[in-house]
Amino acid sequence: MNRRILLAAAAALPFLAVGPAPAAAGSRACVDSPDTALRVCIAVDARGPSYQVVRNGREVIRRSALGLSLEGDGPAQVNRIERIERAYADQTWEQPWGEQRLVRDRHNEMRVRLAGPAGARPYEVVVRAFDDGFGFRYDVPAAGPVEVLDEATEFNFAGRYDAWWYPARERERDEYLYTRTDLDAVSLAETPFTLQGEGLYLSVHEAALVDYASMNLRRTGPGAFKADLMPWSDGVRVRRDGAFVTPWRVVLVGESAGALADSRLVLNLNEPNRLGDVSWVKPTKYVGVWWEMHLNRSTWGGGPTHGATTANVRRYIDFAAENGFGGVLAEGWNTGWDGDWIANGDKFSFTQAHPDFDLAGLADYARQRGVGLIGHHETGGAVENYERQLDAALDLYAGAGVRAVKTGYVKPNGTIVHPGPDGATQSEWFAGQYMVRHHQKVAEAAAARHISIDAHEPVKDTGLRRTWPNLVSREGARGQEFNAWGRPTNPPEHVTILPFTRLLAGPMDYTPGIFDLTFGKAKVEERVQSTLATQLALYVVIYSPVQMAADLPENYAARPDAFQFIRDVPVDWETSKTLAGEIGDYVVVARRQRGGADWFLGAVTDETARRVPVTLDFLEPGRRYEAQIYRDGPGADYVSNPYAFETARRVVTAHDRLELALAPGGGQAIRFRALD
């Protein structure tokens, strides 16, 4: 059964035209958000088409160019608005799984047709204005093959802002620490690109990146940015055949950092579920042969130190079964991957297991114990090799009852090779159109077999999980793995930045839950830079429907007091709210379990200790809850005393207030168990 249902009364007719359609032509047309605070205007003048954004009468985005440059277009350009069509929507749709079950999509739409003299290619700009931001896309008519040489879209900010960003198109793809700088210190930035200033929080991103190139932002002048699409190796940005729409260009606008995090605008701009009944997509917690290899205690490659042996994986299956986890990941199970992540991806086999790894036997054993294996396809960036084996690889897993596969694309950015039309080798960026197409192919091939995908080194998320709900999670930022490598590890502020940057794009497989924070390292920048309580809080702060308990079973066995929270915390939510937070300082998130009455809270801080008051008015009025509190103990400090930890219990209601005491690098996790 398709679990996606429309609930609002207007659902049967979600789009109703409210203006004269088509409206009179002119040179300027505007659309307001439903609350009328935000106004997006499109204009055409001698310099070409542009847009401008005003919020409560104040300019937020100055005149910014619009347009695409297509191969073969002559000098004649669009110079007038030929037609305007308007619509509005107010509908509520249901996510099959997610951070929030019911999502309201309320917006005003304006579709503007731009035209010009003979020879100018007409096209449409579709704008949707929401209370929490806006999006626009190009709708381009074309007959036959077409090449996008450039996209003119600008984002010219009015006023002074700081930006949270890292450089795009660098070697490690999206795995960089964010820095906060003046907007004018930015060079080329990845999105979501988050700004703070003028009493506002903005974030520029894109939605529905399908068969197109991923967008970065290049600074072109004071406060001025231009879309920079990751090109093919020959410089062409995008190749399409026939009419096409671009991804939505999105700007979230809020008066608090939390307003950005709680926006569902990116999802709303994606197409509804195309997979129908997706009850086979299972949000789950998982464990696996993973952290031990990142700590160099076992290896991906075969031989005496091989990690993914039948015996070792059985140990993790037992641990998962005993603790209620649904999945067990086994990396390094296949031949050809000799341990070097990058050098020889074209030799990886996706069907041949090492002799000491019995896939069928383990799958059976897992099934008996009520656990599922999570498959692993590290490609080493050798995409052609993977695509050649894709069907056989997925068939093998599907036959063994594997319902989720983690993929990986470890290779320096810009070195994804494939044969070009003339047989010569071409090298592509990790998120150009070539890779966007590849990930789409994997998503669809996996969906056909009822397999979910969790991609590492992915193309950034743009909300495609709405359309293909088997795209459950992805990496796309510095995850916990960096905390094993020590060069240096993630500073405490990293997890207070992610909710307002990377996580605006969608779920992240951060792999929280490290309990042995020091693993023999003396220097703080060589081990996990957090307290124990923080590791619990991350299960709530960082949303993902697949959430790893990443540490070794013996480290959980040593801390049953803290481990209880990981056993209890769900991965699928009825609703989610960011209660407080400032980017790079701290964040407090509360989520209500889906299909249950319990609430869960997670709070993390940067290197600064703080006391954060929280009113519990998110709890159901009139209900009593037992607050099961997991917090930093006396003297806790991520540098000097990371294991100081305590638990407490008290009965609370929606009228109560708590003060969360967070140690330096600390955190707090609370389960509010409904009592009546």
Q: Which is nearer to ligand NOJ, 149 or 410 (CB)?
A: 410
CB of 38 to ligand NOJ, least distance (A): 38
CA distances from 505 to 60, 162, 475 (A): 22, 20, 11
Binding partner of residue 280 among Ca ion, ligand NOJ, none, CB cut-off 5 to 8 Å per kind: none
One character per residue 441-480, x = contact with ligand NOJ (rule: CB under 6 A)? ---------------x------------------x-----
Least distance CB 332 / ligand NOJ (angstroms) = 8
3-state secondary structure of 268: helix
Nearer to ligand NOJ, 331 or 606 (CB): 331
Residue span 410-429 as binding mask against ligand NOJ, x where in contact by CB under 6 A, dash where not: x-------------------
Q: Tell me which residue of 546, 549, 668, 651 sits closest to 600, measured CA to CA.
A: 668
How many chain residues touch ligand NOJ (CB under 6 A)? 9
Q: Which does 109 bind (CB under 5 to 8 A by kind): Ca ion, ligand NOJ, none?
A: none
Whether cis (ω within 30° of 0) applies to the bond prior to 117 is no
408 is a site residue for ligand NOJ (CB under 6 A): yes
State which of positions 360-389 bind ligand NOJ (CB under 6 A): 378
Contact yes or no for 349/392 (Cβ under 8 A) = no
* Binding span for Ca ion by CB under 5 A among 337-345, 439-447, 449-457, 621-629: 449-457
| The one catalytic residue among 175, 481, 493, 526 | 481
Asked whether position 481 contacts ligand NOJ by CB under 6 A, the answer is: yes
Q: Specify the DSSP element, H or E, that contains 573.
A: strand 573-582
Count of beta carbons in the 10 Å neighbourhood of residue 48: 16
Please count the residues of this chain forming the interface with Ca ion, following the rule CB under 5 A: 1
What are the φ/ψ torsions at residue 482 (nearest 5 degrees)?
-60, -25
Q: Is 475 a catalytic residue?
A: no
Distance in Å, CB of 289 to ligand NOJ, minimum: 10
Among Ca ion, ligand NOJ, none, residue 378 binds (CB under 5-8 Å by kind): ligand NOJ
Q: Which is nearer to ligand NOJ, 251 or 374 (CB)?
A: 374
Residue with smaller CB distance to ligand NOJ, 433 or 535: 535
Asked whether position 331 contacts ligand NOJ by CB under 6 A, the answer is yes
Q: Which of 330, 341, 364, 337 is nearest to 352 (CA)?
A: 337
DSSP string, 590-641: EEEETTSS-EEEEEEE-SS-EEEEEE-TTSPTT--EEEEEEEE-TT-BTTTB
> C-alpha distances in angstroms, 304 versus 124, 134, 310, 332, 343?
62, 56, 13, 13, 22
Instruction: Choose between 197 and 486: whose C-beta lies nearer to Ca ion.
Output: 486
Out of Ca ion, ligand NOJ, none, what residue 67 binds, judged by CB under 5 to 8 A for its kind, is none
**Please, what sign has the CA dihedral across residues 431, 433, 437, 443?**
positive
CB of 209 to Ca ion, least distance (A): 20
Catalogue the E-assigned strands of 21-132: 28-32, 38-45, 48-55, 58-65, 68-70, 80-94, 102-115, 123-130
By a kind-dependent CB cut-off of 5 to 8 A, residue 131 interacts, out of Ca ion, ligand NOJ, none, with none
Residue 124 binds to ligand NOJ (criterion: CB under 6 A): no
What number of other Cβ atoms are within 10 A of residue 353's Cβ? 19
Contact 630, 669 (CB under 8 A): yes
Residue 294: CB minimum distance to ligand NOJ, A: 7
Residue 137 or residue 456: which is nearer to Ca ion going by CB? 456
Residues 453-472 as x/- pattern, contact with Ca ion by CB under 5 A: ---x----------------
Of 333-352, binders to ligand NOJ (CB under 6 A) are 341
Site for ligand NOJ in 278-317 (CB under 6 A): 290
The residue with tokens 């481990």 is 563
Q: Which does 526 bind (CB under 5 to 8 A by kind): ligand NOJ, Ca ion, none?
A: none
| Nearest residue to 431 (alpha-carbon basis) of 481, 475, 385, 489 | 475
Q: Is there a cis peptide before residue 22, judged by omega within 30 degrees of 0?
A: yes
Q: Which is nearer to Ca ion, 509 or 574 (CB)?
A: 509
**At 473, is the secondary structure helix, strand, or coil?**
strand
CB of residue 596 to Ca ion, shortest distance in Å: 32
For the bound state, the minimum distance from the C-beta of residue 387 to ligand NOJ, rounded and expressed in Å, comes to 18
Query: Interface with ligand NOJ includes 23 (CB under 6 A)?
Result: no
φ and ψ at residue 170, rounded to 5 degrees: -95, 170
Is the Cβ of residue 273 or residue 473 nearer to ligand NOJ in the bound state? 473
Dihedral (CA of 600, 605, 610, 612) sign = negative
Q: State the nearest-atom distance from the C-beta of 302 to ligand NOJ, in Å.
A: 15
Burial 513-532 (b: 16+ CB within 10 A, else e): bbbbbebeeeebebbbbbbb
Nearer to ligand NOJ, 378 or 516 (CB): 378
Shortest approach of Ca ion to residue 412 CB, angstroms?
A: 12
Catalytic residue set: 481
* Contact footprint for ligand NOJ (CB under 6 A): 290, 331, 341, 378, 408, 410, 456, 475, 481
* Contact footprint for Ca ion (CB under 5 A): 456
